[in-house]
Chains A and B, each alone.
Chain A
Amino acid sequence: MLVSEDEVLELVAFLVTAARCLMDEPVDYGPMRLLSGAERLCMQAAPRVEDAQTRALLEQLARNIPPHLGRRNGDPDGYLRFVDESCRMIASELLRRAERRR
């Protein structure tokens, strides 16, 4: 198991309480919370991921998400580019792993 039972519950708590908070909050908080959730999962899971390339990707995301969240107002275009680039990297990793399974 990549994350412990406590960690699973903590992440579920984050996601569900974030959903509730977002019902009253500015729309740009939505992407921020999703990225924060992804960062938390990456931080918890990365040390236990066996595949070095996948682990490196999760570590990179965990490292890079917070500074980009901090710059979302000052550099919205850079924030968008970061999220797009993260999507590309994740898709490439999904592909690599899929090809390995074939």
Chain B
Amino acid sequence: MITLPDCLECIKTRRVTRYFSDAAVPQEVFVKILEAGRWAPIAGNRRIQHFLAVQNRETITLIRAVSPGMFGHPAALAIICIDWAKLESLGCKRHNHGVYIDVGTAAENMMLAGHALGLGTGPVTSFSTAAVSTILGLPEWLTPAMIVCIGYPAKAQPMGRNVPAKPTLLKDLVSWEQFVGTVSKETA
């Protein structure tokens, strides 16, 4: 049974990995990561996603070429797609924000699982959906929403960590019981 300290430690120590070693991700490990995505909390348990699991090096190279947000060369990709046909069959509109929130919960589960399994992971949303769809032969009703890069971290991470000058503390994020203040700090 997982303990609370282990769970919180996993959350707090996970970092985005941008550069990966050449080592392949074992199939059974990749499956565990995908399985973690399957267990993510999803609105209404409606399952409007499809995961594309990519390990072919050539395909990854092609996807990287059309993904400016992908800096390194990951060994595997979990591409979280939205199934618009299924969404519409449920009566949901395309502008329903929950669709993208569900993508995020799946991605976070995958990244935490990857971290727990000793891998590095990094999310990428800076990619051309049109180009990625073309490379993967996706039908019109299935669009890629997020790419989770997976692999063993390279020894050198040339970009380091993108740490803001002023860390965001819990008090910056949380209002207790009622919102206090009227103007965003960014626009004040």
A residues at B contact (CB < 8 Å) = 9-10, 13-14, 16-18, 20-21, 25, 29, 33, 36, 66-67, 69-76
Contact = CB atoms under 8 A, between A and B. Distances in A.
B84 interface: no
Given A17-B131, A21-B127, A66-B71, A73 B66 contact: no
Q: How large is the interface on B (under 10, 10 to 19, 20 to 34, 35 or more residues)?
A: 10 to 19
Interface of B: 65-69, 71, 126-128, 130-131, 158-165
Given A21-B128, A25-B126, A70 B67 contact: no
Contacts of A36: 68, 71
Nearest to B65: A13
Contacts of B71: 36, 66
For the residues of A in contact with B, the DSSP-based class is helix
Nearest to A62: B158
A73 B162 CA distance: 6
Given A74-B165, A76-B165, A21 B68 contact: yes
